[in-house]
A and B are shown apart, each in its own frame.
Chain A
């Protein structure tokens, strides 16, 4: 192949073939469709509601994108969230802890669960799918044991600030935090050796190992980071609900993976961008919000959600096949 051909190939890739492009088109189309159908959709209030409702998912999708870039997956985030929520809310209520302490508890617990995932995957060699599915059950079970199945209510008001508070009375604090997390992740993604190594491991683990990357310890870090991110999402979610529930986040693994894949991150690993996962998460959010406004039942929403995941992975797989 001559250099010129290569040149052409590369340039062509940039625009419409870009993996994020289709996602953005879908996102905009959805917004147009819903605003045409319903006047209630494109209002400041509703937009802020969508942002608030999906802050936890957006944060979660950041960690998930890095995990999926390495070629792995984390299906334990739902259970992890439950464990973080219960530990944090019980301790906060018991000792009337300040916000920062509540958040830290979530981050530490989440990180610990993430470390266990990383240990099972790298040191025991269990495939990520199975290791994290097992960990999901362990974490949720622990959450139920700790709280005895009860709802942790009567939380102090400070606990609810991050999830229910607004800046200037309009912008949800949760959305601001989510935005900050996204920015941090984009910076990590674009400007650190850590990120280059992450892509390298996902693209060719053997070559990464031979290039002197400590692949196992790197993967452990990735899962710990996912766990910490999950902890933050758990706190924001619990704060929004105002209570601690062990049943929380039962769809979270599913939603986070869907958001990531919708954003064009390949489940085969090696490619993907965190900022696109934000669009993926918002697509999920917009569809739910829109369907709810249109009075579509939650059972139908469930079906829609499943179809979206299958469709987005289907597109990803077909695209991968073409590239070979």
Chain B
């Protein structure tokens, strides 16, 4: 592409601890270009975006804006340079109105320094009218549906005169009609010479709206092509890469055992529609789904964190009535959350206390006093078995690496001695080495008769460890993969395919 680049990355690298997430990325984009950024989960897309937005600092390389070397020391700096990001979790203020959100920080004032509400309202109304979008501009943003919120976020970027807009999976929660409006907004941005980086898992959108496509894999920028010159198949194989690792760690070809858990017609407002499945005792069952598919929510329903609108969950033929996680634990279900920091660990408590917290009542005598020795023995067993690297049992868990924290959380579920273990994103934010440790721990648990339910959006990991994989799309069961169907290529194609049922 000719012309002046708006943004250019030169040999950008980023590593977290010993984990290299981006390796020598060279990237450039010109004003008015719409660029798709593709790659599997963990390929480094979000890290790259965060570097461009100034959230992360690169560990190597240079950033040029308008040909000038620029250091984006924090998100404010990024905004000042005209870079706006619309993250999946929109960062609008729910208690403010549409207009207030759009003009946040650039409020229009009259000559007395008071807010000129009329002018602002007019401007916003004009913008939405021009888009043919009906929008109640005085409504509080928190009361609007997600799709409308997204339109507000884009409008905000336009009013702030952003020169580049990054959209992180903007389509994941949109209906087809809303998608059309999104396209329209992107075309308007293009007319205004705004550069757009568009991240999506849906290839049809790439063909619809993008000019060019950049593919990342394992932190390496594989290629940048014109969308008109690349086939769908090429894109997929570039994303997955040559060594399509079909090497499963789970060697069981077929698995059969009595059903331990069954779910019937689970519904959750808009997120899940009549999801039914059965899990066998000792099985490793994968629930695969992208953000917005309802997979994470399904995991939470099985653990009693959120109540389903309707449906029935049975464990060993007995229907469960769970009001809270404590009930699930009593019914022999335990859970490892996906947000390790926010929902998993107690940062100030020791590794030992963190591991034993759910089962601590089992280590008290009849006077209610703790059997410190018993706790220690039980905990140390898992330290040895899982190879958890700790300085001492009293070490606060926040000083451990993500992998070791995750091992401690898995130890927590095993110490609580439940038959069924649900893991939500079992290896999220964990380096490759520890990932394999955790896979073998899970296989080991399954061999000893534990039933594992792994909720994940990473196909690779589910293919490696699962006996069976159920794919969710838009809240519905798309297909259940068993035996030879468990192949990364096949599942990835299905994930990107249109339609809600496998044909």
Interface residues of A (CB under 8 A from B): 1, 3, 6-7, 9-10, 187, 191-194, 196-197, 199-200, 203-204, 206-214, 270-271
Contacts and interface: CB of A to CB of B under 8 A. Distances in A.
Given A3-B390, A193-B363, 5 more contacts: A7-B391, A192-B368, A203-B346, A206-B343, A210-B343
Given A7-B391, A9-B399, A199 B348 contact: yes
A1 B392 contact: no
B368 A200 contact: no
A277 B485 CA distance: 63
Interface stretch (B159-167, B322-330, B437-445): B322-330
A204 B347 contact: yes
Contacts of B291: none
A160 to B, nearest CB: 35
A214 B390 contact: no
Contacts of B344: 207, 210
Contacts of B369: 187, 191-192
B396 interface: yes
Contact of B357 (A7, A211, A270): A211
A198 to B, nearest CB: 11
The secondary structure that dominates the A interface is helix
Contacts of B193: none
Nearest to A13: B396
Contacts of B17: 1
Name which of B325, B363, B372 has the most chain A CB atoms within 10 A of its CB.
B325
A214 B324 contact: yes
B368 A213 contact: no
A206 B358 contact: no
Nearest to A193: B360
A68 B348 CA distance: 15
Given A10-B399, A212-B329, A200 B346 contact: yes
B427 interface: no
B346 A199 contact: yes
B412 interface: yes
Contact of A207 (B346, B390, B394, B401): B346
A191 B395 contact: no
B353 interface: yes
Nearest to A271: B348
Interface of B: 17, 303, 305, 324-326, 328-329, 335, 337, 342-349, 353, 357-358, 360-361, 363-364, 368-370, 372, 389-392, 394-396, 399-401, 412, 416
* A1, A10, A212, most chain B CB atoms within 10 A: A212
A203 B343 contact: no
A206 B342 CA distance: 7
B337 A1 contact: no
A211 B342 contact: no
10 contacts: A1-B17, A1-B401, A6-B400, A10-B391, A192-B370, A200-B353, A204-B343, A207-B344, A210-B325, A212-B328
B19 to A, nearest CB: 12
B347 A203 contact: yes
User: Which 7 interchain pairs have the tightest Cβ spacing?
Assistant: A7-B391, A212-B329, A203-B346, A193-B360, A212-B326, A270-B348, A203-B348
Contacts of A197: 357, 360
A221 to B, nearest CB: 13
A271 B353 CA distance: 13
A273 to B, nearest CB: 12
A214 B372 CA distance: 22
Contacts of B345: 204, 207
A56 to B, nearest CB: 27
B348 A212 contact: no
Contacts of B342: 204, 206-207
A6 B400 CA distance: 8
Contact of A200 (B326, B328, B357, B389): B357
Nearest to B303: A210
A293 B346 CA distance: 46
A210 B370 contact: no
A3 B391 contact: yes
A214 B370 CA distance: 19
A245 B15 CA distance: 66
* Residue with the greatest number of chain B CB neighbours at <10 A, chosen from A1, A3, A199, A208: A3
Contacts of A206: 342-343
Nearest to B391: A7
Nearest to B326: A212
A212 B324 CA distance: 8
B358 A212 contact: yes
B390 A209 contact: no
A270 B325 CA distance: 21
Contacts of B361: 193
A193 B364 contact: yes
A210 B347 contact: no
A191 B370 contact: yes
Nearest to A8: B391
Contacts of A270: 346-349
A1 B399 contact: yes
Contact of A194 (B358, B368, B400): B368
A289 B413 CA distance: 53
A192 B360 CA distance: 9
Q: Which of A210, A213, A271 has the most CB of B within 10 A?
A: A210
A42 to B, nearest CB: 38
B368 A193 contact: yes
Given A193-B364, A204-B347, A207-B344, A212 B392 contact: no
A263 to B, nearest CB: 16
B360 A10 contact: no
Contact of A209 (B325, B348, B400): B325
A192 B390 contact: no
Contact of B349 (A203, A210, A213): A203
Q: Which residue, of B17, B345, B369, B391, has the highest number of chain A Cβ atoms within 10 A?
A: B391
A20 to B, nearest CB: 15
B399 A211 contact: no
A10 B396 contact: yes
The listed residue with most B CB atoms (<10 A of its CB), out of A203, A204, A208, A211, is A211
Nearest to A270: B348
A198 B399 CA distance: 21
A199 B350 CA distance: 11
B393 to A, nearest CB: 11
B326 A213 contact: yes
A279 to B, nearest CB: 21
A209 B346 contact: no
B368 A3 contact: no
A203 B329 CA distance: 21
A321 to B, nearest CB: 15
Contact of B360 (A7, A196, A210): A196
A193 B346 contact: no
Contact of A212 (B343, B353, B396, B416): B416
Contacts of B399: 1, 6, 9-10
Contacts of A203: 346-349
Contacts of B328: 212
